[in-house]
């Protein structure tokens, strides 16, 4: 009996001012750098820019292929942050990292104004957890600058997302809504090769929905034909299976979800514990190769 692994198609995602992102040969690791006082997953917030920069440099040394910097918590129930406050948090870090890290930097925002300033400070990817629902003007900034764009599936805001977690067929509805986000981006001038998708595990989904999406990632990838980023790290859908553990203690559960995502053909996994999850990804890639050779 052989281990069944899903195909992982190859894509090339252009990045302005640097080598394109070549996706498909192996799953890349994106490190999460939250510079917020209310992150759900970090026991010690990185509010001091110097500490955030040191953390980013550690992530690169530990095996991160990309770093995603966010200045607003998007956890369920979180309060929104004005653009000027979000910029106050992220811009010093982006500017300090310029020329010090060799890997691409992504800005985790749904606001066009924040994206514009972050791109000017060196970000080459925008990670929009709202799939262009919150600020459609963001698509025009991406089109203008040529940066990569991650479109994540969600519904509503941080305050309302669980109330909107009502699905008849979760995979079909996630695929359909992501298809609409892609169309919005393309209509604004974003080239399809700039776009990645994220199924939004843990966002506007009950635990059963998140596990269902993870189990059927190959179907979602086939339906949308774009590279896939998966972010299960420390999220609440893991809580019940882990006996109610708090977010910082969910790394073993995250490792299981990361393994499943890599076997299912994910192009990028977004994680907090970069050193540990980079090992998980490397071993899972060897399993993929073994399954393909057998």
Q: Tell me whether residue 159 is one of the annotated catalytic residues.
A: no
CB atoms within 10 A of CB 269: 27
Half-sphere exposure of residue 24, counting CA atoms within 13 Å on the CB side? 13
Contact 280, 255 (CB under 8 A): yes
Contact partners, residue 249, CB within 8 Å, separation at least 6: 242
Catalytic residue among 89, 111, 270, 288: 270
Q: Tell me whether residue 235 is one of the annotated catalytic residues.
A: yes
Q: How far apart are CA 77 and CA 198, in angstroms?
A: 21
Give the end-to-end CA distance of the chain in Å, rounded to a whole number. Answer: 9
Closest C-alpha among 114, 113, 31, 130 to residue 74: 130
Contact 172, 149 (CB under 8 A): no
Q: How far apart are CA 255 and CA 59, in angstroms?
A: 17
Q: How far apart are CA 244 and CA 247, in angstroms?
A: 9
CB atoms within 10 A of CB 42: 20
Catalytic residue among 235, 239, 245, 288: 235
β-pairing, 195-198 vs 229-230, is unpaired
Q: How far apart are CA 34 and CA 44, in angstroms?
A: 10
Give the residue numbers annotated as catalytic, written as ranges: 235, 270
């Amino acid at each position: 009996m052989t281990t069944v692994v899903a195909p992982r198609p190859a894509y090339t995602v252009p990045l302005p001012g640097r080598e394109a992102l070549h996706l498909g040969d192996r799953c890349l690791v994106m490190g999460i750098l939250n510079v917020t006082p209310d992150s759900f997953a970090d026991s010690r917030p990185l509010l001091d820019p110097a500490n955030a920069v040191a953390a980013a440099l550690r992530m690169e040394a530990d095996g991160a292929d990309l770093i995603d910097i966010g200045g607003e918590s998007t956890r369920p129930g979180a309060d929104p942050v004005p653009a000027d406050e979000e910029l106050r948090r992220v811009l010093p870090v982006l500017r300090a990292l310029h020329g010090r890290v060799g890997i691409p930097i992504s800005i985790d925002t749904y606001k066009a104004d924040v994206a514009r300033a972050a791109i000017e400070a060196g970000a080459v990817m925008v990670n929009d957890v709202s799939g262009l629902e919150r600020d459609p003007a963001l698509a025009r900034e991406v089109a203008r600058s040529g940066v990569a764009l991650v479109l994540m599936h969600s519904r509503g805001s941080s305050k309302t997302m669980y109330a909107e977690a009502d699905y008849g067929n979760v995979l079909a509805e996630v695929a359909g809504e992501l298809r609409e986000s892609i169309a919005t981006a393309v209509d604004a001038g974003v080239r399809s090769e700039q776009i990645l998708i994220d199924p939004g595990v843990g966002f506007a989904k009950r635990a059963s929905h998140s596990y269902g999406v993870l189990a059927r990632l190959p179907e979602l990838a086939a339906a949308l034909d774009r590279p896939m980023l998966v972010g299960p790290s420390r999220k609440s859908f893991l809580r019940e299976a882990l006996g109610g553990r708090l977010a910082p203690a969910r790394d073993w559960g995250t490792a299981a979800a990361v393994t499943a995502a890599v076997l299912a053909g994910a192009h990028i996994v977004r994680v907090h514990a970069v050193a540990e999850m980079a090992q998980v990804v490397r071993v899972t890639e060897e399993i993929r190769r073994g399954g393909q050779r057998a």
